[in-house]
Amino acid sequence: MERVVITGMGTLNPLGLTVDESWKNVINGVSGVGPITLFDSSPLNVHFAAEVKNFEPDKYMDAKEARRRDRYEQLGAAAAKDALASSGLEITDANAGRIGVLVASAVGGITSLQDAVITNYTEGPRRVSPFLIPMLMPNGAAGMIAIDNQIKGPCFSVASACASGSDGIGTAFLMLKAGMIDAALAGAAEVTICSTGVAAFDRVGAMSRRNDDYSMAPQPFDKNRDGLVMGEGAAVLVLERESHAKARGANILAELAGYGATADAFHVTAPHEKGEGGSAAMKMALDSARANVDELGYINAHGTGTPLNDQSETRAVKAAFGEKAYEIPISSTKSMTGHMMGATGALEAIFCVRAVCEGILPPTIHYETPDPECDLDYIPNKAREKKINLALTNAFGFGGHNAVLAIRKY
């Protein structure tokens, strides 16, 4: 079966508006966390998040069109535009039907929906925007990317909570392997930093409340971790069948070598205590890549900074790889980007591509106090130079969704 390769990448996230800027900041241990500026958070328990800074939609799309799009759709369209440009893939009438758009979102335009509900009750239904439906639907970003670029192949969104971006990339991987398409834009976009989103995640007990000193939040795998920090952003990769990429002389960045997906079937928000679903997904991704644990050089962990997640994920890695787990460097880049919900897995796939290409492994910042329950090598506080051939990126979502991607040096 033909190999799937990565030929382009684009992202806008709390660490930067380009892949290069984001990579520079992540390997230097820069935090993207700061005070919430997108809305007045004073009535809430949480006043900090990891926002995308200095984003100007008009630089990526027509100003009139930008006003008709939710922020998550704006970010998704911008990331897709940059990914296409970096790949050099030209969309034509001849190939448009053989290219897919698999850009996911866990919740879609929650900010637009929240604002419309307020408008409906305060000003009446006639004041609700006629553009509300395309602004809130989770497939909105995918559809708009297809329209922007006249892509006419399969186009849809995957919704699997925090695993959405990885599942979107994984779905494109399977479609490329099956020969259904020749290329795809795959990834995710997410913006949940609004009063409803922050309040909801806080009420479920998932968020850090270190308002007086958020400089050390979040703290993945640290004994004193107290919850996630909400992030936002988008990340899109251009995937191609190897023969297609070679035929057009593309610059191949890395191989998307494997994909694994499982369900915990355990609890709607809590991960399985023993990490059984995550462990199975990691082994499935390695099997899909026709690799073994000796080839695995790095794991970009889900690592949210919540007490249950980090403990469960540590157990999952041990269950998957036994004593070898102690030899595998692991890090949580969410310690810098925050948790971009459905979009995080797609961004972390980009980080894995750069890691295998450049031989630098991002750190887990804010790591101070070891937790006996989390006793693996989490690359504390400083990036590590290490040549690797294969990396995994984990994404585990509410509902028990587990998705793992394997990325190999090309």
Catalytic residues, by residue number, are 162, 302, 339
Phi, psi of 209 (to 5 degrees): -115, 30
3-state secondary structure (DSSP) of residue 34: strand
Tokens at 404, concatenated: 């793992």
Name the phi and psi angles at 108, rounded to 5.
75, -150
The packing angle between helices 307-321 and 276-288, to 10°, is 50
Residue 37's CB: how many other CB atoms inside 10 A?
11
Of the candidates 64, 289, 301, the residue with the CA atom closest to the CA atom of residue 177: 289
Q: H-helix or E-strand containing 146?
A: helix 140-149
Note whether 14 and 232 are within 8 A (CB). Answer: yes
Pairing of strands 296-300, 330-331: parallel
218 upstream amide cis, omega within 30 of 0: yes
- The pair of three-digit structure tokens given for residue 362, joined into one six-digit string: 């991002």
Q: What is the rounded CA–CA span in Å between residue 299 and residue 281?
A: 13
Closest by CA position to 209, among listed 355, 371, 58, 41: 41
Alpha carbon separation from 277 to 261, 264, 266, 287, 396 (Å, rounded) = 9, 5, 9, 15, 9
Query: Could you tell me whether strands 99-104 and 34-35 are parallel, antiparallel, or unpaired per DSSP bridges?
Result: unpaired
Select from 345, 325, 371, 361 the least CA-distant residue to 256: 345
Q: Can you tell me the distance from the alpha carbon of 169 to that of 103, in angstroms, rounded to the nearest whole number? A: 8
